[in-house]
Structure 1
Amino acid sequence: MPLVPFSITPVEEAEPVVVAGMQTTIIWRKNERARRVALRIDPQAGRIVITLPPRGSRQAGLALLRGHESWVAERLASLPPALVIADGNEIPVFGQPHRIVHDVRARGGAVIETPVIRVSGHPDFLARRVRDMLRDLAFREFSAMARRMAAQFHARPGEVRIKDTRTRWGSCTADGTMMFSWRLIMAPRFVQHYVVAHETAHLRHMNHGPDFWTLVETLTPHRAEAAGWLRREGPGLLRIS
Protein backbone atom coordinates (compact mmCIF):
# COMPACT_ATOMS: atom_id res chain seq x y z
CA MET A 1 0.00 0.00 0.00
CA PRO A 2 1.45 3.42 -0.91
CA LEU A 3 2.25 5.62 2.06
CA VAL A 4 3.56 9.17 2.17
CA PRO A 5 4.96 11.26 5.02
CA PHE A 6 2.42 13.45 6.75
CA SER A 7 2.54 17.08 5.70
CA ILE A 8 0.44 20.09 6.57
CA THR A 9 -1.42 21.57 3.63
CA PRO A 10 -4.10 24.26 3.53
CA VAL A 11 -6.31 22.17 1.24
CA GLU A 12 -8.19 19.69 3.41
CA GLU A 13 -11.72 18.63 4.21
CA ALA A 14 -13.29 16.24 6.71
CA GLU A 15 -15.90 13.67 5.72
CA PRO A 16 -17.67 11.05 7.87
CA VAL A 17 -17.31 7.45 6.73
CA VAL A 18 -18.16 3.95 7.94
CA VAL A 19 -15.31 1.41 7.88
CA ALA A 20 -16.10 -2.19 8.78
CA GLY A 21 -19.16 -1.01 10.67
CA MET A 22 -17.17 1.66 12.56
CA GLN A 23 -18.10 5.34 12.27
CA THR A 24 -14.99 7.42 11.69
CA THR A 25 -13.71 10.38 9.67
CA ILE A 26 -11.64 10.83 6.52
CA ILE A 27 -9.43 13.87 6.22
CA TRP A 28 -8.97 14.60 2.54
CA ARG A 29 -5.74 16.42 1.74
CA LYS A 30 -4.57 17.83 -1.57
CA ASN A 31 -0.79 17.81 -1.91
CA GLU A 32 0.78 19.45 -4.95
CA ARG A 33 3.92 17.32 -4.52
CA ALA A 34 2.12 13.99 -4.20
CA ARG A 35 2.48 11.63 -7.14
CA ARG A 36 -0.18 9.11 -6.17
CA VAL A 37 -3.07 8.57 -3.80
CA ALA A 38 -1.90 7.63 -0.31
CA LEU A 39 -3.65 6.34 2.80
CA ARG A 40 -2.58 6.54 6.43
CA ILE A 41 -3.98 6.63 9.95
CA ASP A 42 -3.50 9.74 12.04
CA PRO A 43 -2.99 8.15 15.48
CA GLN A 44 -3.23 11.46 17.29
CA ALA A 45 -6.75 12.29 16.09
CA GLY A 46 -7.83 8.70 15.44
CA ARG A 47 -8.83 9.50 11.85
CA ILE A 48 -8.10 8.33 8.32
CA VAL A 49 -5.98 10.62 6.16
CA ILE A 50 -6.14 10.24 2.38
CA THR A 51 -3.72 12.37 0.40
CA LEU A 52 -4.54 13.13 -3.22
CA PRO A 53 -2.16 14.37 -5.93
CA PRO A 54 -3.25 17.40 -7.94
CA ARG A 55 -5.31 15.30 -10.36
CA GLY A 56 -6.29 12.60 -7.90
CA SER A 57 -9.98 11.92 -7.33
CA ARG A 58 -11.91 11.04 -4.20
CA GLN A 59 -13.18 8.01 -6.05
CA ALA A 60 -9.60 6.74 -6.29
CA GLY A 61 -9.09 7.52 -2.60
CA LEU A 62 -12.20 5.60 -1.59
CA ALA A 63 -11.14 2.67 -3.75
CA LEU A 64 -7.81 2.57 -1.92
CA LEU A 65 -9.61 2.72 1.42
CA ARG A 66 -12.02 -0.09 0.55
CA GLY A 67 -9.16 -2.20 -0.72
CA HIS A 68 -7.49 -1.94 2.69
CA GLU A 69 -10.60 -1.73 4.85
CA SER A 70 -9.63 -4.56 7.19
CA TRP A 71 -6.18 -3.05 7.79
CA VAL A 72 -7.70 0.38 8.49
CA ALA A 73 -10.28 -1.06 10.88
CA GLU A 74 -7.61 -3.02 12.76
CA ARG A 75 -5.38 0.03 13.07
CA LEU A 76 -8.21 2.23 14.33
CA ALA A 77 -9.37 -0.39 16.82
CA SER A 78 -5.82 -0.89 18.15
CA LEU A 79 -5.27 2.79 18.96
CA PRO A 80 -4.86 3.48 22.69
CA PRO A 81 -7.60 5.50 24.36
CA ALA A 82 -7.24 9.26 24.05
CA LEU A 83 -5.99 10.97 27.22
CA VAL A 84 -6.73 14.60 28.00
CA ILE A 85 -4.27 16.74 29.94
CA ALA A 86 -6.53 17.63 32.86
CA ASP A 87 -6.55 17.94 36.63
CA GLY A 88 -6.26 14.50 38.23
CA ASN A 89 -5.09 12.67 35.10
CA GLU A 90 -1.67 11.07 34.79
CA ILE A 91 0.80 11.61 31.95
CA PRO A 92 4.36 10.28 31.67
CA VAL A 93 7.47 12.43 31.94
CA PHE A 94 10.74 10.61 31.14
CA GLY A 95 8.59 7.46 31.06
CA GLN A 96 7.35 7.85 34.64
CA PRO A 97 3.69 8.62 35.46
CA HIS A 98 3.02 12.07 36.87
CA ARG A 99 -0.35 13.12 38.24
CA ILE A 100 -1.56 16.57 37.19
CA VAL A 101 -2.64 18.67 40.17
CA HIS A 102 -4.30 22.06 39.78
CA ASP A 103 -3.25 24.14 42.79
CA VAL A 104 -4.75 27.63 43.09
CA ARG A 105 -2.11 28.47 45.71
CA ALA A 106 0.81 27.56 43.45
CA ARG A 107 2.87 30.00 41.39
CA GLY A 108 4.92 29.70 38.25
CA GLY A 109 2.66 27.95 35.74
CA ALA A 110 3.35 24.21 35.57
CA VAL A 111 6.14 22.73 37.67
CA ILE A 112 7.29 19.12 37.92
CA GLU A 113 7.46 17.88 41.50
CA THR A 114 7.84 14.16 40.79
CA PRO A 115 5.51 12.28 40.85
CA VAL A 116 3.25 15.35 40.45
CA ILE A 117 2.91 18.14 37.91
CA ARG A 118 1.62 21.11 39.90
CA VAL A 119 -0.21 23.73 37.84
CA SER A 120 -1.19 27.22 38.91
CA GLY A 121 -3.56 29.75 37.39
CA HIS A 122 -7.03 29.54 35.91
CA PRO A 123 -8.16 25.96 35.19
CA ASP A 124 -9.06 26.87 31.60
CA PHE A 125 -5.34 27.30 30.87
CA LEU A 126 -4.13 24.16 32.64
CA ALA A 127 -3.53 22.02 29.53
CA ARG A 128 -1.71 24.82 27.74
CA ARG A 129 0.52 25.47 30.75
CA VAL A 130 1.45 21.79 30.98
CA ARG A 131 2.20 21.54 27.27
CA ASP A 132 4.29 24.73 27.35
CA MET A 133 6.29 23.40 30.30
CA LEU A 134 6.92 20.08 28.56
CA ARG A 135 7.96 21.84 25.34
CA ASP A 136 10.46 23.98 27.26
CA LEU A 137 11.81 20.91 29.04
CA ALA A 138 12.12 19.06 25.73
CA PHE A 139 14.04 21.96 24.19
CA ARG A 140 16.53 22.10 27.05
CA GLU A 141 17.04 18.34 27.26
CA PHE A 142 17.32 17.58 23.54
CA SER A 143 19.43 20.64 22.70
CA ALA A 144 21.99 19.72 25.34
CA MET A 145 21.97 16.06 24.34
CA ALA A 146 22.45 16.87 20.65
CA ARG A 147 25.38 19.19 21.41
CA ARG A 148 27.10 16.53 23.53
CA MET A 149 26.65 13.85 20.88
CA ALA A 150 27.71 16.08 17.98
CA ALA A 151 30.88 17.03 19.82
CA GLN A 152 31.91 13.37 19.73
CA PHE A 153 32.51 13.65 15.99
CA HIS A 154 33.41 17.36 15.91
CA ALA A 155 30.08 18.58 14.56
CA ARG A 156 27.64 21.19 15.78
CA PRO A 157 23.85 21.12 15.46
CA GLY A 158 22.06 24.14 14.07
CA GLU A 159 18.80 25.46 15.47
CA VAL A 160 16.78 23.03 17.58
CA ARG A 161 13.01 23.27 17.23
CA ILE A 162 10.27 21.59 19.23
CA LYS A 163 7.06 20.83 17.32
CA ASP A 164 3.87 18.79 17.55
CA THR A 165 4.43 16.30 14.74
CA ARG A 166 2.33 13.21 14.05
CA THR A 167 4.58 10.77 12.23
CA ARG A 168 8.15 11.80 13.07
CA TRP A 169 9.78 11.92 16.46
CA GLY A 170 12.64 13.92 15.03
CA SER A 171 14.27 15.19 11.85
CA CYS A 172 17.42 16.95 10.68
CA THR A 173 17.77 19.18 7.63
CA ALA A 174 20.82 19.70 5.44
CA ASP A 175 21.67 22.97 7.23
CA GLY A 176 21.76 21.19 10.61
CA THR A 177 18.37 22.35 11.88
CA MET A 178 16.98 19.67 14.17
CA MET A 179 13.33 19.10 15.05
CA PHE A 180 11.92 16.98 17.85
CA SER A 181 8.37 16.24 18.90
CA TRP A 182 7.54 17.68 22.32
CA ARG A 183 5.82 14.38 23.10
CA LEU A 184 9.21 12.65 23.10
CA ILE A 185 9.84 14.18 26.55
CA MET A 186 7.19 11.77 27.86
CA ALA A 187 9.16 8.73 26.65
CA PRO A 188 11.85 7.02 28.75
CA ARG A 189 15.31 8.55 28.63
CA PHE A 190 16.78 5.66 26.64
CA VAL A 191 14.22 6.33 23.89
CA GLN A 192 15.06 10.03 23.87
CA HIS A 193 18.75 9.14 23.70
CA TYR A 194 18.21 7.02 20.60
CA VAL A 195 16.05 9.56 18.75
CA VAL A 196 18.49 12.39 19.42
CA ALA A 197 21.40 10.15 18.35
CA HIS A 198 19.57 9.28 15.13
CA GLU A 199 19.05 12.91 14.19
CA THR A 200 22.51 13.98 15.34
CA ALA A 201 24.08 11.33 13.10
CA HIS A 202 22.41 13.06 10.15
CA LEU A 203 24.78 15.98 10.72
CA ARG A 204 27.43 13.70 9.21
CA HIS A 205 25.33 11.42 6.97
CA MET A 206 22.14 12.70 5.31
CA ASN A 207 21.03 9.16 4.47
CA HIS A 208 20.35 5.84 6.17
CA GLY A 209 23.31 3.94 4.76
CA PRO A 210 25.70 1.65 6.63
CA ASP A 211 27.97 4.51 7.74
CA PHE A 212 24.99 6.34 9.20
CA TRP A 213 23.89 3.35 11.28
CA THR A 214 27.46 2.73 12.43
CA LEU A 215 27.60 6.30 13.74
CA VAL A 216 24.18 5.96 15.42
CA GLU A 217 25.36 2.85 17.25
CA THR A 218 28.54 4.65 18.27
CA LEU A 219 26.43 7.42 19.82
CA THR A 220 23.86 5.24 21.58
CA PRO A 221 23.50 1.60 22.68
CA HIS A 222 19.70 1.83 22.67
CA ARG A 223 18.80 1.53 18.98
CA ALA A 224 16.94 -1.79 19.00
CA GLU A 225 15.30 -1.36 22.40
CA ALA A 226 14.15 2.19 21.69
CA ALA A 227 12.83 1.42 18.22
CA GLY A 228 10.78 -1.42 19.68
CA TRP A 229 9.43 0.84 22.44
CA LEU A 230 8.35 3.48 19.93
CA ARG A 231 6.52 0.91 17.82
CA ARG A 232 4.62 -0.39 20.86
CA GLU A 233 4.14 2.68 23.00
CA GLY A 234 4.58 5.64 20.66
CA PRO A 235 0.92 5.70 19.53
CA GLY A 236 -0.12 6.17 23.15
CA LEU A 237 1.95 9.36 23.41
CA LEU A 238 0.28 10.69 20.27
CA ARG A 239 -3.12 10.20 21.93
CA ILE A 240 -2.30 12.62 24.76
CA SER A 241 -3.64 16.12 24.20
Structure 2
Amino acid sequence: MSEIILSGDPPVTVSLRRSARARRLSLRVSRLDGRVTLSLPLRLGEREALGFLREKESWIRDHVAACGPEKRVVPGAVLPFLGRPTEIVTGQGRAARLWPGRLEVPGRPEQAGAKVKAFLRLEAQMRLRLACDRYAAALGVPYGRLSLRDPRSRWGSCTSEGNLMFSWRLVMAPEAVLDYVAAHELAHRLEMNHSERFWAHVARICPDHRAHRAWLRQEGETLHRWQFG
Protein backbone atom coordinates (compact mmCIF):
# COMPACT_ATOMS: atom_id res chain seq x y z
CA MET A 1 0.00 0.00 0.00
CA SER A 2 1.51 3.32 -1.07
CA GLU A 3 1.03 6.72 0.51
CA ILE A 4 0.56 10.34 -0.46
CA ILE A 5 1.39 13.14 1.97
CA LEU A 6 -0.66 16.32 1.82
CA SER A 7 1.68 19.12 2.82
CA GLY A 8 0.45 21.71 5.25
CA ASP A 9 0.19 22.26 9.00
CA PRO A 10 0.06 19.51 9.98
CA PRO A 11 0.90 17.26 7.02
CA VAL A 12 -1.64 14.50 6.43
CA THR A 13 -0.62 11.01 5.31
CA VAL A 14 -3.11 9.28 3.02
CA SER A 15 -2.85 5.53 2.42
CA LEU A 16 -3.71 4.48 -1.14
CA ARG A 17 -5.59 1.21 -1.42
CA ARG A 18 -5.96 -0.09 -4.97
CA SER A 19 -8.80 -2.47 -5.59
CA ALA A 20 -10.00 -4.40 -8.61
CA ARG A 21 -13.54 -3.86 -7.35
CA ALA A 22 -13.24 -0.09 -7.04
CA ARG A 23 -15.07 1.84 -9.75
CA ARG A 24 -14.49 5.28 -8.30
CA LEU A 25 -12.39 7.14 -5.75
CA SER A 26 -13.56 6.67 -2.16
CA LEU A 27 -12.24 8.46 0.94
CA ARG A 28 -12.42 7.20 4.52
CA VAL A 29 -11.23 8.85 7.73
CA SER A 30 -11.18 6.51 10.72
CA ARG A 31 -12.95 8.04 13.71
CA LEU A 32 -10.75 5.88 15.90
CA ASP A 33 -7.29 7.18 15.01
CA GLY A 34 -7.77 9.71 12.20
CA ARG A 35 -6.15 7.45 9.61
CA VAL A 36 -7.02 8.53 6.05
CA THR A 37 -7.48 5.93 3.31
CA LEU A 38 -8.21 6.52 -0.36
CA SER A 39 -9.56 3.56 -2.31
CA LEU A 40 -9.08 3.80 -6.06
CA PRO A 41 -9.34 1.67 -9.22
CA LEU A 42 -6.24 -0.29 -10.22
CA ARG A 43 -5.38 1.77 -13.31
CA LEU A 44 -5.94 5.24 -11.89
CA GLY A 45 -2.69 7.19 -11.62
CA GLU A 46 -1.34 8.92 -8.51
CA ARG A 47 -1.59 12.30 -10.24
CA GLU A 48 -5.36 11.92 -10.48
CA ALA A 49 -5.47 10.67 -6.89
CA LEU A 50 -3.52 13.69 -5.67
CA GLY A 51 -5.80 16.05 -7.56
CA PHE A 52 -8.83 14.44 -5.93
CA LEU A 53 -7.23 14.74 -2.50
CA ARG A 54 -6.48 18.43 -3.04
CA GLU A 55 -10.14 19.01 -3.91
CA LYS A 56 -11.19 17.24 -0.70
CA GLU A 57 -8.40 18.60 1.52
CA SER A 58 -10.64 20.85 3.61
CA TRP A 59 -13.05 17.96 4.25
CA ILE A 60 -10.16 15.64 5.16
CA ARG A 61 -8.62 18.08 7.63
CA ASP A 62 -11.97 18.80 9.30
CA HIS A 63 -12.59 15.08 9.85
CA VAL A 64 -9.04 14.37 11.05
CA ALA A 65 -9.31 17.25 13.55
CA ALA A 66 -12.60 15.85 14.87
CA CYS A 67 -11.00 12.52 15.85
CA GLY A 68 -10.34 12.14 19.54
CA PRO A 69 -6.93 11.18 20.91
CA GLU A 70 -6.13 7.76 22.30
CA LYS A 71 -6.61 7.36 26.05
CA ARG A 72 -4.30 5.29 28.22
CA VAL A 73 -5.45 3.26 31.20
CA VAL A 74 -3.32 4.43 34.11
CA PRO A 75 -4.08 5.33 37.75
CA GLY A 76 -6.19 8.48 37.74
CA ALA A 77 -7.83 7.75 34.37
CA VAL A 78 -11.63 7.71 34.29
CA LEU A 79 -13.02 5.11 31.90
CA PRO A 80 -16.58 3.90 31.38
CA PHE A 81 -17.77 0.66 32.97
CA LEU A 82 -21.33 -0.27 31.99
CA GLY A 83 -21.58 3.31 30.77
CA ARG A 84 -20.71 4.87 34.13
CA PRO A 85 -17.52 6.90 34.73
CA THR A 86 -15.13 4.81 36.81
CA GLU A 87 -11.81 6.11 38.14
CA ILE A 88 -8.78 3.81 38.16
CA VAL A 89 -7.08 4.00 41.57
CA THR A 90 -4.21 2.07 43.14
CA GLY A 91 -5.46 -0.57 45.58
CA GLN A 92 -4.31 -3.41 47.79
CA GLY A 93 -4.71 -7.15 47.53
CA ARG A 94 -4.32 -9.46 44.56
CA ALA A 95 -7.27 -8.65 42.29
CA ALA A 96 -9.04 -5.57 41.01
CA ARG A 97 -12.06 -4.56 43.11
CA LEU A 98 -15.00 -2.50 41.89
CA TRP A 99 -16.56 0.15 44.09
CA PRO A 100 -19.13 2.83 43.20
CA GLY A 101 -17.30 5.22 40.92
CA ARG A 102 -13.88 3.59 41.16
CA LEU A 103 -11.92 0.47 40.35
CA GLU A 104 -9.09 -0.38 42.75
CA VAL A 105 -6.19 -2.03 40.95
CA PRO A 106 -3.29 -3.55 42.93
CA GLY A 107 0.31 -3.57 41.79
CA ARG A 108 2.64 -1.12 40.10
CA PRO A 109 1.16 1.75 38.03
CA GLU A 110 2.60 0.35 34.80
CA GLN A 111 0.64 -2.87 35.38
CA ALA A 112 -2.70 -1.09 35.68
CA GLY A 113 -3.66 -1.34 32.01
CA ALA A 114 -3.22 -5.10 31.77
CA LYS A 115 -5.05 -5.70 35.06
CA VAL A 116 -7.98 -3.46 34.11
CA LYS A 117 -8.24 -5.25 30.76
CA ALA A 118 -8.31 -8.63 32.53
CA PHE A 119 -11.06 -7.36 34.86
CA LEU A 120 -13.13 -6.04 31.96
CA ARG A 121 -12.82 -9.30 30.01
CA LEU A 122 -14.01 -11.34 32.99
CA GLU A 123 -16.97 -9.01 33.53
CA ALA A 124 -17.82 -9.07 29.83
CA GLN A 125 -17.69 -12.88 29.74
CA MET A 126 -20.02 -13.17 32.72
CA ARG A 127 -22.52 -10.53 31.61
CA LEU A 128 -22.66 -11.65 28.00
CA ARG A 129 -23.11 -15.28 29.05
CA LEU A 130 -26.06 -14.31 31.27
CA ALA A 131 -27.58 -12.16 28.50
CA CYS A 132 -27.17 -14.90 25.89
CA ASP A 133 -28.71 -17.51 28.16
CA ARG A 134 -31.68 -15.22 28.79
CA TYR A 135 -32.27 -14.42 25.12
CA ALA A 136 -31.68 -17.99 23.97
CA ALA A 137 -34.42 -19.10 26.36
CA ALA A 138 -36.74 -16.30 25.18
CA LEU A 139 -36.27 -17.30 21.52
CA GLY A 140 -36.22 -21.03 22.15
CA VAL A 141 -32.86 -21.55 20.47
CA PRO A 142 -29.53 -23.12 21.50
CA TYR A 143 -26.12 -21.61 20.89
CA GLY A 144 -22.60 -22.98 20.83
CA ARG A 145 -19.29 -21.56 21.91
CA LEU A 146 -19.04 -17.99 23.25
CA SER A 147 -15.74 -16.19 22.67
CA LEU A 148 -14.42 -12.69 23.28
CA ARG A 149 -12.16 -10.75 20.93
CA ASP A 150 -11.24 -7.16 20.21
CA PRO A 151 -12.41 -6.49 16.63
CA ARG A 152 -12.80 -2.96 15.31
CA SER A 153 -15.35 -3.61 12.59
CA ARG A 154 -18.11 -5.38 14.53
CA TRP A 155 -19.46 -5.82 18.06
CA GLY A 156 -20.59 -9.39 17.68
CA SER A 157 -21.14 -12.24 15.27
CA CYS A 158 -22.96 -15.57 15.02
CA THR A 159 -21.85 -18.47 12.85
CA SER A 160 -24.17 -20.92 11.14
CA GLU A 161 -23.12 -23.46 13.79
CA GLY A 162 -24.35 -21.13 16.53
CA ASN A 163 -20.97 -20.00 17.84
CA LEU A 164 -21.01 -16.46 19.16
CA MET A 165 -18.24 -13.85 19.23
CA PHE A 166 -18.40 -10.53 21.04
CA SER A 167 -16.12 -7.57 21.62
CA TRP A 168 -15.15 -7.50 25.29
CA ARG A 169 -15.22 -3.68 25.06
CA LEU A 170 -19.02 -3.90 25.18
CA VAL A 171 -18.71 -4.03 28.97
CA MET A 172 -17.71 -0.36 28.84
CA ALA A 173 -20.97 0.55 27.09
CA PRO A 174 -24.27 0.98 28.96
CA GLU A 175 -25.55 -2.42 30.09
CA ALA A 176 -28.64 -2.13 27.88
CA VAL A 177 -26.36 -1.76 24.85
CA LEU A 178 -24.43 -4.90 25.79
CA ASP A 179 -27.73 -6.73 26.19
CA TYR A 180 -28.91 -5.52 22.78
CA VAL A 181 -25.84 -6.94 21.03
CA ALA A 182 -26.46 -10.29 22.72
CA ALA A 183 -30.11 -10.19 21.61
CA HIS A 184 -29.04 -9.27 18.07
CA GLU A 185 -26.68 -12.22 17.74
CA LEU A 186 -29.12 -14.71 19.29
CA ALA A 187 -31.77 -13.59 16.80
CA HIS A 188 -29.41 -14.79 14.07
CA ARG A 189 -30.04 -18.32 15.34
CA LEU A 190 -33.45 -17.93 13.70
CA GLU A 191 -32.53 -15.73 10.72
CA MET A 192 -28.97 -15.55 9.35
CA ASN A 193 -29.70 -12.23 7.68
CA HIS A 194 -31.06 -8.76 8.46
CA SER A 195 -34.50 -9.23 6.99
CA GLU A 196 -37.75 -7.87 8.41
CA ARG A 197 -38.29 -11.22 10.11
CA PHE A 198 -34.89 -10.94 11.78
CA TRP A 199 -35.64 -7.46 13.14
CA ALA A 200 -39.05 -8.66 14.32
CA HIS A 201 -37.31 -11.27 16.49
CA VAL A 202 -34.93 -8.61 17.86
CA ALA A 203 -37.81 -6.24 18.62
CA ARG A 204 -39.71 -8.99 20.45
CA ILE A 205 -36.91 -9.57 22.97
CA CYS A 206 -35.31 -6.09 22.91
CA PRO A 207 -38.01 -3.45 22.24
CA ASP A 208 -35.59 -0.49 22.52
CA HIS A 209 -33.06 -1.91 20.05
CA ARG A 210 -33.11 1.16 17.79
CA ALA A 211 -31.87 3.42 20.59
CA HIS A 212 -29.07 0.97 21.45
CA ARG A 213 -28.02 0.66 17.80
CA ALA A 214 -27.91 4.45 17.60
CA TRP A 215 -25.67 4.59 20.69
CA LEU A 216 -23.19 2.21 19.09
CA ARG A 217 -23.14 4.21 15.85
CA GLN A 218 -22.59 7.50 17.67
CA GLU A 219 -20.41 6.48 20.63
CA GLY A 220 -19.04 3.03 19.91
CA GLU A 221 -15.72 4.13 18.47
CA THR A 222 -14.90 6.04 21.66
CA LEU A 223 -14.56 2.66 23.39
CA HIS A 224 -11.75 1.73 21.01
CA ARG A 225 -9.72 4.79 21.97
CA TRP A 226 -8.81 3.22 25.31
CA GLN A 227 -5.36 1.63 25.22
CA PHE A 228 -4.47 -0.96 27.86
CA GLY A 229 -0.89 -1.80 26.92
TM-score (norm 2): 0.82
- In structure 1, runs of 5+ residues without a counterpart are 1-11
Q: How many residues align?
A: 224
How far 1:61 moved relative to its partner?
A: 6.4
CA contact (8 A) 1:43 1:238 kept: no
Aligned amino acid, residue 94 of structure 2? R
Q: 1:214 aligns with which of 196, 200, 216?
A: 200
Identity of aligned residues (%): 35
Residue matched to 1:130: 116
Q: 1:162 aligns with which of 148, 159, 172?
A: 148
TM-score (norm 1): 0.79
Q: Structure 2 CA distance, aligned partners of 1:142 and 1:116?
A: 22
Q: Does 1:107 align with 2:99?
A: no
Residue matched to 1:181: 167
CA contact (8 A) 2:80 2:173 kept: yes
Distance 1:87 1:201, change over 3 A: same
TM-superposition CA deviations, 1:32-66 (whole Å, max 9, x none) = xx73376433333331245678x577837666655
Residue matched to 2:79: 91
How far 1:80 moved relative to its partner?
A: 2.9
Higher Cα Rg, which structure: 2
Q: Does 1:143 align with 2:129?
A: yes
How far 1:29 moved relative to its partner?
A: 6.2
CA contact (8 A) 1:20 1:69 kept: no
Residue matched to 1:3: none
CA contact (8 A) 1:186 1:237 kept: yes
Aligned amino acid, residue 94 of structure 1? L
Q: Structure 1 CA distance, aligned partners of 2:170 and 2:52?
A: 32
Q: 2:183 aligns with which of 187, 194, 197?
A: 197
How far 1:16 moved relative to its partner?
A: 7.3
**What SS is found at the alignment partner of 1:158?**
coil
- In structure 2, runs of 5+ residues without a counterpart are none
Q: 2:216 aligns with which of 230, 235, 240?
A: 230
Q: Structure 2 CA distance, aligned partners of 1:240 and 1:18?
A: 28
CA RMSD of aligned residues (A): 2.9
Distance 1:27 1:174, change over 3 A: farther
Q: 1:152 aligns with which of 111, 135, 138?
A: 138
Q: Structure 1 CA distance, aligned partners of 2:204 and 2:139?
A: 10
Residue matched to 1:7: none
Q: Structure 2 CA distance, aligned partners of 1:124 and 1:136?
A: 20
